[in-house]
């Protein structure tokens, strides 16, 4: 079933949803949000796209193979833990630095870790949704 | 630093080897051999210090709380092994380049060989028992890869698996034994355990530890009744047989026994078990060697016999025996390595490997024949070669044994005769007599192939004539390490007219007799021989079949393939086990008041209950899913009411995505119909109510539990100062408990890929049908 209204709305919604998901990821350390929720929002955005158009279009819109996202996410999360070794600390010890923007912002390896969680959630959810939709 | 680099460099080069091969092609073997050559030079440089009684040691922390360290130590015994591993390793790498020239997976072969070399070096140098175990298992693993290198052949795969199963079984026992030993001695460092000496052997745990370690050492060193894997491992390419199954890996068990001699060498168990197993293995191997037809199997069985001899000598525990075992080890690596490489050349150049198919090759391949002749004379124990020195010491040690001297000396001489004949069989028969037609026209191989055996055989002759080159510098420190006391060693070809020389002469005569009558012997005992060689293997196969049968049975029992049975199993196990624990251990106090709930909280609860009832009673799938969504949203509302916005947000999204997934699955499902009968529905209701009731009880218990958690205030206080975050939930997820989260996203990944694999596999299957 092709719905012009849904399709048009989706084109705007997906942008907003993806922005929102990144927003959730970034604010997660201080306010409700985080990589997991952010990843779910992003996955929901592409799920919406899948419903409005079809799987092939959603795959094109995603650019990356979902399984690549899973692998990248796992690597990012594990890699953020490995950086601790460089500082001579145990695995997954957080390292922090300050980023001088308008206000000084604390940036640390947990952000990379959370980004890894985000990617794994997007990748795993979309792997399942795409596979189911293609059968 | 040098020690660490000597071990790590091999692993690093193993990773690079395929690329080196891609770039250097024919020169790869020579190029890669530079590393073991350099290491040989390094270890030789360490030799004077080690001989002066100053072992080199290097330790790196690993798991300090458990006493596990990555520690390496180079003493006399380790040095001898390290020199053999690197020296022979260099020749093998060069040889492999010629032997497998043009093989498509030669690069990978180099990688496996180097992986093995580094692992074996780790075994010889490890000071911590856990480090030792890790390297020990790595040798089993790389041996598996090497034996099964011709992966297209079922026999090679089976032999690789058999060797792996036997040695890994021993490896597990070894780990237990070493840890028990560490428990008894209060340290996991071998050097500290050895410093305790024989006092440790009196510890109540020591006997158990010793028996387990025996199991590990005997499986690795192919002692009866585990000897069968070694001849089967001859499926490996010949450089592997020469390196792993003659010169180095199979001696890991001998190394371990020698290493532990200062602790257990004087105990009664040690003498009885080690000497007996060694003697039986020595005779069995020698007998089977004479009966075999295949060149490599002859050599493999004779190696089994030699390993038995070394075990026997270690069991005696006398100073003379310690000297004998060190010299034997050294001489054996030289001549057996050379003979294996010669067998490989014959196989490579003629295409035949069975003794009856070979003859008169000395004219076609004179260089090979010369190397084979010298090495075989050394194996037969003929002066003036290194094998003669080791055999003299072996006989002397057996002759002077404090117990059972006559039996041991007799067995040793008998094994010596059989090995003499086996040496003749392997190196005389193929080269003398009438030339036979072979699949390929024989001629001497290229230099890369004959270099190894010629050098090894030549060294055997050199050290026989000039033993002072090695005896004080390399061999005596090894004896000192086995004896845990300073040792001197002076080897000489000629001592005097003594009983041992008489035994040597008897061996010579008897050996010639066995060689002359070998074919007749083989015929007479043809029924007997297969029986004894296969008995142990048959038991092994039977045990393997039993284990497989058991695995199949329990898989069929547990993996019914029906989701409902999985759910019933999981839920009853959870409720039963946890319920029992809660019932017996947690005092139940009813919650203080039921009525402090607010009206709108009760309304949400009622909504959830009504929706749950609808799910169960609905006759439409879409209706059930929608109702299920209401349940989930209701729970999410409760989260908001109780101040958990993170949870609520996640719950909302999960519910939404779940509905999408269900809709996608619906498409493939048949029409809704009632298939279950009433009893099954009652059973399902009971199971579901049990789980719900149990979880509800848990929640009530958790909320009414007396006492405050210490974790909550800790996380609340530390979140901002220690982790720069105000959202405690997220800080716990990505910082305080990041390892848990890492585990969870790994599970999520596996689940995603699992769904993908299942769906795609089904598709592929459907297409092929």
Q: Chain A contacts of B736, Cβ < 8 Å?
A: none
Q: Which helix (H) or strand (E) holds B96?
A: helix B76-99
Residue of B502, B325, B507 lying closest to B414 (CA atoms)? B507
Compute the nearest-CA separation of A92 from chain B (Å). 7
- Write the residue in A92, A108, A117 that is nearest to B724 by C-beta: A108
Q: Chain B contacts of A30, Cβ < 8 Å?
A: 725-727
List the structure tokens of A96.
């922090």
Looking up tokens 């959630």 gives: A121
Residue B461's alpha-carbon distances to A66, B44, B46, B338, B389, in angstroms, are 65, 20, 25, 12, 11
> Do B607 and B630 contact (CB within 8 A), yes or no?
yes
User: With an 8 Å Cβ cutoff, are B664 and A132 in contact?
Assistant: yes
Q: Number of CB pairs < 8 Å for A and B?
A: 141
Compute the nearest-CA separation of B393 from chain A (Å). 53
Interface confidence, given as ipTM, is 0.94
Three-state secondary structure call for residue B620: coil
Query: In this predicted structure, what is the pLDDT of residue B768?
Result: 44
Compute the nearest-CA separation of B764 from chain A (Å). 11
Compute the nearest-CA separation of A8 from chain B (Å). 20
> Do B82 and B433 contact (CB within 8 A), yes or no?
no
User: With an 8 Å Cβ cutoff, are A120 and B748 in contact?
Assistant: yes
Three-state secondary structure call for residue A92: coil
Q: Chain B contacts of A44, Cβ < 8 Å?
A: 653, 656-657, 660
User: With an 8 Å Cβ cutoff, are B646 and A32 in contact?
Assistant: yes
Query: In this predicted structure, what is the pLDDT of residue B219?
Result: 95
Mutate to test the interface with A, among B664, B668, B767 (most CBs of A within 10 A): B664
User: With an 8 Å Cβ cutoff, are A47 and B660 in contact?
Assistant: yes
Mean pLDDT by 10 residues, chain B (769 residues): 89 93 89 94 93 88 87 94 95 93 91 96 95 96 94 92 93 95 91 88 90 95 90 92 90 95 89 94 92 91 95 92 94 94 91 87 89 93 90 92 89 94 90 84 86 93 89 90 86 78 90 87 71 71 91 88 89 94 80 70 92 90 88 93 89 90 83 84 93 90 73 84 85 90 95 91 59
Please check whether residue B666 touches A, CB under 8 A.
Answer: no
- Write the residue in B661, B741, B751 that is nearest to A117 by C-beta: B741
Mutate to test the interface with A, among B659, B738, B764 (most CBs of A within 10 A): B738
Please check whether residue B751 touches A, CB under 8 A.
Answer: yes
User: With an 8 Å Cβ cutoff, are A30 and B645 in contact?
Assistant: no
Compute the nearest-CA separation of B160 from chain A (Å). 33
> Do B362 and B439 contact (CB within 8 A), yes or no?
no
User: With an 8 Å Cβ cutoff, are B664 and A129 in contact?
Assistant: yes
Query: In this predicted structure, what is the pLDDT of residue B594?
Result: 62
Three-state secondary structure call for residue B199: helix
Looking up tokens 């012009």 gives: A4
- What is the distance between the alpha carbons of residues B112 and B138, in angstroms, rounded to a whole number? 11
Mutate to test the interface with A, among B744, B752, B766 (most CBs of A within 10 A): B752
Question: What does each of the 135 residues of chain A score in pLDDT, given as a tens digit?
Answer: 678 999 999 999 999 999 999 999 998 888 888 999 999 999 999 999 999 999 999 999 999 999 999 999 999 999 998 888 888 788 888 888 888 877 787 888 899 999 999 999 999 999 999 998 887
DSSP class of residue B317 equals: -
List the structure tokens of B268.
């009664």
End-to-end CA distance of chain A: 18
- Write the residue in A28, A113, A120 that is nearest to B727 by C-beta: A28
Q: Write the burial class of residue B617 (CB in 10 Å: 0-12 exposed, 13-18 middle, 19+ buried).
A: exposed
Query: In this predicted structure, what is the pLDDT of residue B433?
Result: 82
Compute the nearest-CA separation of B205 from chain A (Å). 35
User: With an 8 Å Cβ cutoff, are B660 and A51 in contact?
Assistant: yes
Please count the structural domains in chain A. Answer: 1
Please check whether residue B676 touches A, CB under 8 A.
Answer: no
User: With an 8 Å Cβ cutoff, are A94 and B739 in contact?
Assistant: no
Query: In this predicted structure, what is the pLDDT of residue B247?
Result: 85
Residues 6+ apart with CB under 8 A from A21: A38, A39, A41, A42, A45, A118
Q: Chain A contacts of B737, Cβ < 8 Å?
A: none
Q: Are strands A96-100 and A104-108 parallel, antiparallel or unpaired?
A: antiparallel
User: With an 8 Å Cβ cutoff, are B742 and A127 in contact?
Assistant: no
- What is the distance between the alpha carbons of residues B709 and B400, in angstroms, rounded to a whole number? 72
> Do B171 and B119 contact (CB within 8 A), yes or no?
no
User: With an 8 Å Cβ cutoff, are A70 and B752 in contact?
Assistant: yes
Q: Write the burial class of residue B613 (CB in 10 Å: 0-12 exposed, 13-18 middle, 19+ buried).
A: exposed
User: With an 8 Å Cβ cutoff, are A29 and B742 in contact?
Assistant: no
- In degrees rounded to 5, what are phi and psi of residue B643? 75, 45
User: What does pTM read for this prediction?
Assistant: 0.77
H, E, C per residue of B100-142: CCCCCCHHHHHHHHHHHHHHHHHHHHECEHHHHHHHHHHHHHH
User: With an 8 Å Cβ cutoff, are B751 and A81 in contact?
Assistant: no
> Do B128 and B181 contact (CB within 8 A), yes or no?
no
User: With an 8 Å Cβ cutoff, are B730 and A34 in contact?
Assistant: yes
Query: In this predicted structure, what is the pLDDT of residue B341?
Result: 94
Q: How do the residues of chain B divide into helix, strand and coil, expressed in percent and rounded to 5? A: 80, 5, 20
- Bridge partners (DSSP) of residue A99 are A105
User: With an 8 Å Cβ cutoff, are B752 and A113 in contact?
Assistant: no
> Do B547 and B165 contact (CB within 8 A), yes or no?
no
Print burial letters for B290-302: b (CB count within 10 Å at least 16), e (below 16): bbbebbbbbbbbb
Q: Are strands B68-74 and A104-108 parallel, antiparallel or unpaired?
A: unpaired
Compute the nearest-CA separation of A29 from chain B (Å). 5
List the structure tokens of B380.
């037969």
User: With an 8 Å Cβ cutoff, are A77 and B760 in contact?
Assistant: no
> Do B454 and B367 contact (CB within 8 A), yes or no?
yes
């Amino acid at each position: 079933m092709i719905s012009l209204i849904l399709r048009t709305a989706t084109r705007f919604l997906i942008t907003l949803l993806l922005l929102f998901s990144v927003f959730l990821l970034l604010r997660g350390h201080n306010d409700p949000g985080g990589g997991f929720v952010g990843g779910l929002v992003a996955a929901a955005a592409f799920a919406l796209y899948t419903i409005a158009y079809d799987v092939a279009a959603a795959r094109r819109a995603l650019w990356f193979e979902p399984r690549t996202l899973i692998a990248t996410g796992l690597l990012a999360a594990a890699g953020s833990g490995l950086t601790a070794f460089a500082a001579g600390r145990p695995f997954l010890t957080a390292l922090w630095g300050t980023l001088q923007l308008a206000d000084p912002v604390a940036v640390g390896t947990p952000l990379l870790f959370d980004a890894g969680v985000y990617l794994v959630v997007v990748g795993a959810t979309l792997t399942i949704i795409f596979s189911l939709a293609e059968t | 630093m040098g020690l660490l680099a000597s071990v790590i460099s091999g692993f690093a080069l193993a990773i690079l080897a395929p690329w080196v091969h891609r770039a250097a092609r024919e020169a790869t073997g020579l190029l890669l051999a530079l590393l073991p050559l350099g290491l040989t030079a390094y270890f030789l440089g360490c030799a004077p210090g080690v001989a002066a009684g100053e072992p080199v040691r290097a330790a790196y922390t690993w798991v300090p709380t458990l006493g596990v360290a990555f520690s390496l130590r180079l003493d006399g015994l380790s040095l001898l092994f390290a020199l053999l591993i690197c020296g022979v390793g260099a020749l093998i790498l060069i040889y492999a380049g010629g032997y497998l020239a043009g093989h498509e997976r030669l690069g990978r072969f180099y990688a496996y060989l180097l992986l093995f070399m580094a692992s074996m070096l780790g075994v010889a140098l490890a000071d911590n028992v856990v480090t030792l175990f890790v390297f020990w298992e790595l040798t089993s693993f790389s041996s598996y890869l090497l034996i099964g290198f011709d992966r297209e052949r079922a026999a090679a795969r089976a032999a690789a698996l058999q060797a792996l199963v036997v040695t890994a079984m021993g490896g597990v026992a070894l780990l237990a034994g070493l840890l028990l030993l560490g428990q008894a001695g209060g340290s996991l460092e071998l050097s500290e355990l050895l410093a305790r000496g024989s006092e440790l052997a009196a510890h109540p745990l020591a006997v158990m530890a010793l028996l387990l370690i025996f199991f590990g050492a005997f499986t690795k060193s192919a002692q009866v009744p585990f000897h069968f894997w070694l001849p089967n491992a001859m499926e490996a390419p010949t450089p592997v047989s020469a390196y792993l199954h003659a010169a180095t890996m199979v001696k890991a068990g001998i190394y371990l026994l020698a290493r532990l001699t200062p602790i257990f060498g004087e105990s009664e168990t040690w003498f009885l078990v080690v000497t007996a197993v060694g003697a039986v293995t020595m005779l069995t191997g020698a007998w089977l060697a004479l009966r075999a037809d295949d060149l490599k199997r002859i050599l493999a069985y004779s190696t089994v016999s030699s390993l038995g001899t070394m075990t026997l000598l270690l069991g005696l525990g006398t100073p003379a025996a310690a000297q004998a075992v060190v010299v034997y080890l050294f001489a054996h690596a030289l001549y057996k390595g050379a003979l294996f490489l010669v067998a490989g050349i014959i196989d490579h150049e003629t295409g035949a490997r069975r003794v009856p198919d070979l003859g008169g090759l000395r004219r076609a391949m004179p260089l090979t024949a010369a190397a084979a002749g010298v090495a075989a004379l050394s194996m037969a124990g003929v002066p003036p070669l290194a094998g003669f020195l080791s055999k003299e010491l072996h006989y002397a040690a057996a002759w002077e044994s404090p117990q059972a001297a006559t039996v041991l000396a007799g067995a040793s001489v008998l094994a010596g005769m059989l090995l003499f004949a086996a040496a003749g069989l392997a190196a005389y028969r193929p080269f003398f007599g009438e030339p036979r037609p072979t699949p390929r026209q024989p001629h001497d191989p290229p230099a890369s192939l004959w270099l190894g055996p010629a050098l090894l055989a030549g060294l055997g002759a050199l050290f026989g004539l000039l033993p002072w080159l090695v005896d004080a510098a390399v061999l005596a420190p090894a004896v000192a390490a086995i004896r845990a006391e300073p040792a001197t060693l002076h080897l000489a070809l000629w001592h005097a007219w003594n009983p041992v020389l008489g035994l040597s002469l008897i061996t010579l005569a008897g050996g010639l007799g066995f060689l002359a009558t070998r074919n007749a012997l083989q015929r007479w005992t043809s029924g007997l021989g297969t029986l004894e060689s296969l008995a142990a293997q048959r038991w092994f196969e039977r045990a393997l079949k039993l284990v497989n049968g058991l695995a199949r049975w329990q898989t069929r029992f547990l993996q019914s393939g029906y989701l409902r049975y999985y759910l019933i199993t999981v839920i009853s196990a959870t409720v039963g086990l946890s319920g029992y624990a809660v019932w017996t251990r947690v005092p139940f106090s009813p919650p203080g008041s039921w009525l402090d709930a607010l009206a709108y909280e009760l309304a949400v609860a009622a909504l959830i209950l009504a929706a749950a009832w609808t799910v169960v009673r609905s006759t439409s799938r879409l209706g059930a899913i929608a109702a299920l969504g209401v349940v989930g949203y209701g729970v999410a509302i409760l989260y908001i009411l109780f101040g958990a916005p993170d949870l609520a947000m996640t719950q909302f999204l999960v519910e939404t995505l779940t509905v999408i997934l269900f809709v996608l699955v619906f498409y493939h499902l048949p029409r809704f119909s009632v298939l279950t009968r009433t009893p099954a529905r009652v059973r399902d209701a009971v199971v579901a109510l049990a789980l719900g009731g149990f979880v509800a009880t848990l929640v009530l218990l958790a909320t009414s539990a007396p006492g405050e958690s210490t974790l909550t205030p800790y996380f609340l206080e530390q979140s901002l100062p220690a982790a720069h975050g105000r959202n405690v939930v997220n800080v716990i997820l990505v910082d305080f408990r990041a390892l848990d989260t890492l585990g969870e996203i790994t599970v999520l990944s596996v689940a995603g890929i699992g769904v993908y694999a299942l769906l795609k596999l089904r598709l592929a299957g459907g297409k092929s049908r």
